[in-house]
């Protein structure tokens, strides 16, 4: 029997059977409400955020490394950089741009034909929180929001964070009441190159770009470059996996039997879906909506379990080639087992969205506070307002000098608490 003679329901069933099956569970029911509250809180916090010199880890004439705080969108860090670099001589965020002002809110940007942030806020309607979340879910699966920031003309010919594709203007996905909504994608955002000084005079600023992105609630090392050329060089280094990254995460789950492990799997999401773990053998296969499953590899080492262990330096890590999990089926997790606090260091060898969070979930040690991937929202009587994941270090060859560099961010309070218990 040909497909043309089959009932539509049977054809749809056969089509679904041809797609890869995700091996990690869908979003928990609690996640949407919690994530909405966190997104709105982060938007408010981001609108007030200003970089200070205490946030700067390193700076030269080509780039600046900063320690991004949790609960602040990357674009807000970028937008406040011109004021920091000019010594405060530019109006906050370099509000005035010849092409107009973009205010990014919870994963979408709202374009208003206005000259200043205050004017923009008063001349166009703000979307209702529920609508913001709806658009965010549609465009990004709920957690790629941008916060409040500025977007200027993007340089033609520069590669995006995935490599190969040219940077271009953000794509408009919807328009209502004269407000344009568009996607904000990694590597497609830069700060204004021209600002207006407090005295009204024009101030020339570097062409600032985000070289890497961190999730909204992830803290740690973030690189801002000062020219198109340096940005393109660093983006290519990220794409070619020539940059060594380490993260620290505090997880809740059954104490691992391993000290070191490497997990290899597929990674992807269907159209308007959420990021999921797929089988390693599904890499390259097409998902609903046209995207494909990509490879995802992360190594982990346990630093402490319930305050007992030792904090190792990142340079001492040697990957255990024998202890490798190649994901081909759903993980079996004992939900009734006694859970503890596990501090791990992660070494992502690919650069997939939410990679560490997804692999921690698959290993049964979801990150504390990460409600999207089954992390506990409440633990020992305390409620957590974000996931506890920290970008500890970045190591690479300097894009101009060629010298090896390592940037490390101070550990957050939740990590130093664990270290204090270890030392005692």
Q: How far apart are CA 417 and CA 28, in angstroms?
A: 29
Measured in whole angstroms, the distance separating CA 402 from the mean position of its chain's CA atoms is: 27
Q: Where are the beta strands (DSSP E) in 13-145?
A: 56-59, 63-68, 101-105, 108-112
Left, alpha or beta for 307 (phi > 0: left; psi -120 to 50: alpha)? left
Report which of 202, 17, 40 is spatially closest to residue 130, judged by C-alpha positions.
Answer: 40
Q: How far apart are CA 102 and CA 106, in angstroms?
A: 13
Helix (H, G, I), strand (E, B) or coil at 129: helix
Report which of 232, 186, 224, 223 is spatially closest to residue 208, judged by C-alpha positions.
Answer: 224
295 noted as active-site residue: no
Query: Of 55, 95, 143, 215, which is the active-site residue?
Result: 215
Residue 266: both structure tokens together: 């597929």
Q: Are 169 and 181 in contact (CB under 8 A)?
A: no
Which sign does the torsion angle of CA 171, 97, 149, 77 carry? positive
Q: How many CB atoms lie within 10 A of CB 118?
A: 10
Pairing of strands 179-182, 276-278: unpaired
CA dihedral 355, 356, 361, 363 (to 10 degrees): 110
- Residues with active-site annotation: 215
């Amino acid at each position: 029997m040909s497909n043309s003679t089959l009932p539509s329901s049977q054809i749809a069933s056969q089509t679904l059977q041809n797609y890869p099956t995700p091996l990690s569970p869908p979003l928990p029911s609690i996640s949407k409400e919690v994530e909405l509250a966190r997104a709105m809180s982060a938007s408010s916090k981001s609108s007030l955020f200003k970089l200070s010199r205490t946030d700067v880890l390193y700076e030269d004439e080509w780039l600046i490394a900063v320690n991004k705080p949790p609960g602040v969108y990357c674009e807000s860090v970028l937008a406040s950089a011109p004021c920091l670099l000019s010594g405060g001589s530019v109006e906050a965020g370099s509000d005035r741009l010849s092409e107009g002002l973009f205010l990014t809110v919870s994963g979408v940007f709202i374009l208003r034909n206005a000259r200043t942030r205050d004017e923009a806020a008063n001349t166009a309607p703000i979307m209702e929180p529920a609508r913001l979340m709806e658009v965010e879910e549609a465009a990004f699966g709920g957690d790629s929001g941008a916060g409040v920031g500025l977007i200027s003309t993007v340089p033609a010919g520069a590669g995006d964070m995935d490599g190969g594709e040219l940077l271009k203007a953000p794509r408009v996905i919807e328009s209502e009441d004269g407000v344009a909504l568009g996607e904000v994608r990694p590597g497609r955002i830069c700060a204004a190159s021209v600002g207006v000084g407090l005295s009204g005079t024009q101030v020339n600023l570097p062409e600032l770009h985000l070289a890497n992105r961190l999730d909204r609630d992830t803290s740690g090392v973030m690189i801002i470059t000062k020219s198109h050329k340096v940005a393109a060089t660093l983006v290519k280094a990220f794409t070619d996996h020539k940059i060594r990254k380490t993260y620290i995460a505090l997880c809740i789950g059954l104490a691992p039997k391993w000290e070191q492990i490497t997990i290899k799997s597929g990674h992807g999401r269907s159209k308007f879906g959420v990021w999921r773990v797929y089988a390693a053998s599904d890499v390259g296969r097409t998902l609903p909506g046209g995207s494909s499953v990509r490879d995802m590899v992360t190594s982990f080492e346990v630093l402490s379990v319930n305050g007992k262990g030792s904090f190792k330096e990142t340079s001492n890590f040697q990957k255990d080639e024998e202890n490798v999990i190649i994901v081909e089926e759903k993980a079996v997790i004992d939900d009734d087992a006694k859970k503890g606090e596990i501090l791990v260091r992660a070494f992502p060898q690919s650069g997939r969205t939410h990679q560490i969070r997804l692999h921690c979930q698959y290993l049964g040690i979801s990150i504390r506070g990460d409600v999207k991937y089954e992390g506990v929202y409440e633990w020992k009587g305390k409620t957590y307002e974000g996931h506890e994941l920290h970008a500890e270090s970045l190591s690479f060859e300097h894009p101009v000098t060629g010298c090896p560099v390592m940037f490390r961010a101070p550990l957050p309070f939740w990590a130093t608490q664990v270290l204090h218990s270890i030392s005692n």
